[in-house]
Structure 1
Amino acid sequence: MKVTQHLWFERDMEAAVRFYCALIPGSSLDWLSTVPGDTPSGPDGSIGLAGFTLGDQRSMAIEAGPLDPFNHSFSVMVECDDQAGIDRLWDALPEGGTAEQCGWLRDRWGLCWQVVPKRLGELMADPDPQVGRRVTAAMLTMVKLDIAALEAAARG
């Protein structure tokens, strides 16, 4: 079996997919298509479809007008190796969107993202439960996550 995330865009699906693929290393736009013939969502050619690979995850997108807006119940989490990776994504993704607490943001299309350092998981997995508590407390005060500050919290 293969599992593919499917994203429904009200508008600008192709622009969103191209932006995501350009932003995340190892990504590709695999195909674009329109649905022929009139459909309940619109006239001939008004529905766009795309298949793309985002990092190591297969995804599909559709642009077919308003249905349900994106919300936090589905998000794309990107784990970055270093602060430079976090900073690069954080500079690009919230443009036209909103930054949120704890490494969350919403892009201009409304899709929710979590931009986190790989180091966060390592610190949270420390055998000393106090390290995890201090790291969590520090993270809860941040918008964009800061690896140096998380490591300082881990040290106490």
Structure 2
Amino acid sequence: MAPSQLKMTTCLWFDGQAEEAAKFYTSIFPNSDITHVNHFLEAGKELHGREPGSVMVVEFVLDGHRFVGLNGGPHVDFNHAISFQIDCADQAEVEYYYEKLGDGGDQSRQECGWAQDKYGVSWQIVPTVLKEMLSSEDKEAAGRAALKMMHSSRLNIAELEKAFKGEA
């Protein structure tokens, strides 16, 4: 039997920085909060090498999306195969999220408006108008916008619109 209301939570694996990351993310996104913190017990030292009382799991919400930060250890690293997309209404939002999330992260390999944060998590920072351009019935214009996107480290709405119109 299916549950009456599906509840999905994204789990992010950290190596001791789960609480720090949750505080970082909740400071950036509106309507966000840390909802619960669990600590390792004595068994955590034996099983995971973690000190009793250190943070094991942090539950937090980013603008309605539920997350769990798990201090699972150094066995797993983030990569861009999994990313979070942020739909931005205007250039000010694009700049805000790119600056905040990209602060301290590795931006050397980012393209198409992606930012990697200081924990290694990848974020796609996308103006909603770009989605409209890419789904346009004018396939040549959509193609020009796509090419501009692919060659941009940070998406600029004015530049995307110029490319879309064939002015760039």
TM-score band (shorter)? over 0.9
SS, match of residue 42 in structure 2: coil
Q: Residues of 2 paired with 1:71 and 1:135: CA distance?
A: 26
Distance 1:120 1:56, change over 3 A: farther
| Residue aligning to 2:91 | 83
Aligned position for 1:72: 80
TM superposition shift of 1:147: 0.6
The percent of aligned pairs where both chains have the same amino acid is 32
The 5-angstrom pairing of residues 89-128 of structure 1 reads: 89-99=97-107, 100-128=110-138
Within a 5 Å distance, the mapping from 1:135-150 to structure 2 comes to 135-150=145-160
- TM-score when normalising by structure 1: 0.93
Q: How far is the alpha carbon of 1:82 from its aligned partner? A: 0.7
1:31 aligns with 2:36: yes
The number of residues matched between the two structures is 156
Structure 1 gap ranges (5+): none
For the residues of structure 2 that align with 1:34 and 1:18, how far apart are their CA atoms? 16
Cα RMSD, aligned residues only: 1.4
Counterpart residue type for residue 102 of structure 2: P
Q: Which runs of 5+ in 2 are unaligned?
A: 1-5
How far apart in 2 are the matches of 1:33 and 1:103?
A: 35
Structure 1 runs (4+) greater than 3 angstroms displaced: none
**TM-score, normalization by structure 2:** 0.86
1:153 aligns with 2:163: yes
Aligned partners of 2:51, 2:133: CA distance in 1, in Å? 52
When structure 1 is superposed on structure 2, of 118-127 and 90-99 the one drifting more is: 90-99
What amino acid sits opposite 1:30 in the alignment?
T
